[in-house]
Structure 1
């Protein structure tokens, strides 16, 4: 069996298309297609089902991939061990991030400083993309995960915080109850549904003067003294520390949120994906330790 052809087949299985695999391996698409056909002829089975939307593994292809990917990844790991220099990792990493997720910008910058030959492509949007069809290696998702075809690596759990500017509080007074928020101008984060705040054991549907799916917009209006709103802690922490925003009803906390990194379960993660997952986990744990030490 031709080892190079098997390696090309594994790359097609991992990327989900012939063109993406050709780009990853830096070889002409025609060459890749020819080598895969020759491998199928040698084995006398069809390994891939080709269509305009990409490629899917046949049953024979799945069986070959399950065995071949482990061997190839072991060889890659052996090569990395011999080189003993992870900065030699080279290739493209395709990621998906939520909009305005500023803390992750520094994570990606630090990752590329450690792995300077890894090119990072980031898709940012509110729409939940299909990792396979959109060619994404790893997606960062906020919230509970229930996708059976994805592997979720939990990073951190946190809570949003309700905030307002000192000017608005001085003008309207400090809200003394959840129900009192009906008397305040509010801004809510929403993606088509009516915004609801679950504050402790009480839920409220505020009369929103602004509804948007952009937390940066809500922060701007809160800083201007226009409204009360909820923000992720990374968007509120600096302003609270500087006194330009203050927490509202801190004894009625918003629900916990989870951050997870997702990647397809049927793909054995590449060396670059494994390096990214490990780096992100370590970076988040480091920041959490620093934060707890500085309290």
Structure 2
């Protein structure tokens, strides 16, 4: 702290044009400022000012040292501000982008809102690969591996895909025992809104991705109706396992071909890299990462 005080005395002397005015700004005597700068010069082993009875002017070494001092003091001030912010109640608008499975997060979002009532939460549901910074989001929750050096991230969990259908449907149509058996089943297939592409079911045998020609019965671009239609017995769907855990436990859906769907996909919260993380964003990231939102993966 003594060193920071000496740096501040040096910078204030430059800005004020002399020890007298610098002392007035700092609330100390001119001689105290002069002595602080002299001790700094002794420590550095170089002269920072040319002194005369009327004025002080920077030496070449002092000019070089000045800008670095300004950066050091600016960083210290920013650190103090950041710490002060952590003591304040998080508040303000928080824009979050979630994937199509975002309804899964709603109980935790509701819990977060009750915990931080002064934060105005704005949610946007989309599978589009949004530009977090350009589109003005504070954070996004996305699946898969995302490569963007401008973003920080924390993992929330992992999921696998599950092929599901209703018990009544399988009693009538029979259980598919291998991927090739899907050719005899009507498939409820998800279409990505942004690209217009149909979702490929990631079936693998011995680590190799299988190309299965699915008989498409219905195409849906929202996850919840896809699950509902499967419960209604209109065909089978391939969805994230964590979105149908309740239905699987209740017995309204049955999972098949799990041995061919063992690939795990990451779910993470991402936000712009920033030297100063705002209290509202820090609260959201810490809350979501600490929540047992996504149960550990179970062997299919």
Q: Identify unmatched segments of 5+ residues in structure 2.
A: 1-69
Please tell me whether Structure 1 or Structure 2 has the larger radius of gyration of its CA atoms.
Answer: 2
Runs of 4+ in 1 over 3 A off after TM superposition: 64-74, 78-81
Match of 2:155 in 1: 154
Matches within 5 A, 1:197-216: 197-201=201-205, 202-203=209-210, 204-216=212-224
Match of 1:229 in 2: 237
Q: Is the 8 A contact 1:95 1:138 kept in 2?
A: yes
Output the CA distance in 2 between the equivalents of 1:65 and 1:244.
62
Aligned length: 222
Deviation string, structure 1 residues 244-281 (Cα, Å, up to 9, x no partner) = 11011122225211111111125632121111111111
Instruction: Say which SS state the counterpart of residue 140 (structure 1) adopts.
Output: strand
Label 1:245 to 1:128 Cα distance change in 2 as closer, same or farther (>3 A).
same
**TM-score, with structure 1 as normaliser:** 0.68
Output the CA distance in 2 between the equivalents of 1:276 and 1:160.
27
More divergent stretch after superposition (72-81 vs 106-115):
72-81
The structural deviation recorded for 1:176 is 1.4
Match of 1:56 in 2: none
Output the CA distance in 1 between the equivalents of 2:215 and 2:105.
32
Label 1:132 to 1:160 Cα distance change in 2 as closer, same or farther (>3 A).
same
- Work out which of the residue numbers 277, 281, 285 in structure 2 matches 1:269: 277
Matches within 5 A, 1:57-76: 68=74, 71-76=77-82
More divergent stretch after superposition (71-80 vs 245-254):
71-80
RMSD of Structure 2 on Structure 1 (CA): 2.6
Output the CA distance in 1 between the equivalents of 2:73 and 2:158.
36
Q: Is the 8 A contact 2:162 2:255 kept in 1?
A: yes
Output the CA distance in 2 between the equivalents of 1:235 and 1:259.
13
Matches within 5 A, 1:120-269: 120-191=121-192, 192-201=196-205, 202-203=209-210, 204-266=212-274, 268-269=276-277
Deviation string, structure 1 residues 167-187 (Cα, Å, up to 9, x no partner) = 110111111111001110011
**TM-score, with structure 2 as normaliser:** 0.67
Label 1:138 to 1:100 Cα distance change in 2 as closer, same or farther (>3 A).
same
Match of 1:114 in 2: 115
The structural deviation recorded for 1:163 is 0.4
Label 1:66 to 1:170 Cα distance change in 2 as closer, same or farther (>3 A).
farther
Deviation string, structure 1 residues 88-123 (Cα, Å, up to 9, x no partner) = 222221111112411211111111222121111112
Output the CA distance in 2 between the equivalents of 1:168 and 1:162.
13
Output the CA distance in 1 between the equivalents of 2:278 and 2:258.
43
The structural deviation recorded for 1:138 is 0.3
Output the CA distance in 2 between the equivalents of 1:221 and 1:281.
32
Output the CA distance in 1 between the equivalents of 2:72 and 2:162.
45
The structural deviation recorded for 1:154 is 1.6
Instruction: Say which SS state the counterpart of residue 284 (structure 1) adopts.
Output: coil
